[in-house]
Amino acid sequence: MKYILIIAILTMSAGAKPYFRMTDFKYDVKYTNAQGHETIELHSVANRFDKEDSIQWVFKEYKITYLDQVYCIQDSNMVMVTSPKRGVFAATENVPNPQIKYPPTIGDSIYVKQTLSNGKTMRGYLKVTDKIQYGNDTKEADKWVVKAYNLDNKKYSAVYYYSKKIGFVYLSYKLDDIGIVMNLTTYLYSTHVNEMGWYPEAFEE
């Protein structure tokens, strides 16, 4: 009976929205010309509005946990997740946040304006450029490649891979002379807010 329950949970979660309550995502992180956390987590928390969920990027240093409170939009029109902003990630504000419109189509683009920490506005856009196979969870090309550009400063850009099943599985930032690559390795989910019986789903290249 236990195994049947686990299978049911996996099936249910596979068809759910990628960012929903009590789901955790773990990324391995590599840097160029910078140093930072080797792993970062993204945690879903209590819903705020109908179309906007409150989420947290989680940075762990020794025994201290730092939370970077950001937001996510997920509905029938689009998915958007705010990039992490702590430490070396602060410069990600110069690149459009990871987002994609539904239904995804190669060639689609989104024009965005983001308010920077200095009060100025960043103008940019994202474009769906390809659909590829990525990782070991599938034999089919089901990851959408989304490229993000800063219209005012070409030194800032990003590439995101998006999976309808899991969400953003790869985030690569070019922030002037700094490079950051985030690869999703594991996502965890629970059937109830107060249950700690997590069921891991590996996502490794």
pLDDT of residue 138: 62
Name the class of domain 18-188.
mainly beta
pLDDT of residue 70: 79
Residue 114 has pLDDT above 90, yes or no: yes
Contacts of 78 (CB under 8 A, 6+ apart): 99, 100, 101, 102, 110
Q: What pairing do the DSSP bridges indicate for beta strands 109-115 and 23-32?
A: unpaired
**Quick check: helix, strand or coil at residue 5?**
helix
- Nearest CA to 89 out of 188, 182, 22 is that of 182
pLDDT of residue 56: 86
- Nearest CA to 82 out of 91, 74, 92, 71 is that of 71
Q: 116 and 123 in contact (C-beta within 8 Å)?
A: no
- Nearest CA to 135 out of 85, 175, 92, 186 is that of 186
- Bigger pLDDT: 82 or 138? 82
Residue 27: other Cβ atoms inside 10 A: 24
The torsion of the CA quartet 203, 135, 44, 181, rounded to 10 degrees, works out to 110
- Bigger pLDDT: 104 or 21? 104
d(CA 173, CA 98): 11
Residue pLDDT, tens place only, 182-196: 999 987 765 443 333
Helices (H), 83-182: none
- If you average pLDDT over residues 5-34, what whole number do you get? 67
Amino acid, single-letter form, for residue 92: T
d(CA 33, CA 180): 9
d(CA 157, CA 185): 23
- Ordered by start, the domain boundaries in the chain are 18-188
pLDDT of residue 173: 98
pTM of the model: 0.82
Q: Please work out, in degrees rounded to the nearest 5, the angle formed at the alpha carbon of residue 125 by the alpha carbons of 121 and 128.
A: 160
Helices (H), the chain: 2-14
Residue 132 has pLDDT above 80, yes or no: yes
Q: 71 and 84 in contact (C-beta within 8 Å)?
A: no
Q: 144 and 131 in contact (C-beta within 8 Å)?
A: yes
Residue pLDDT, tens place only, 27-86: 999 999 999 999 999 988 655 555 456 788 998 877 788 888 778 888 889 999 999 999
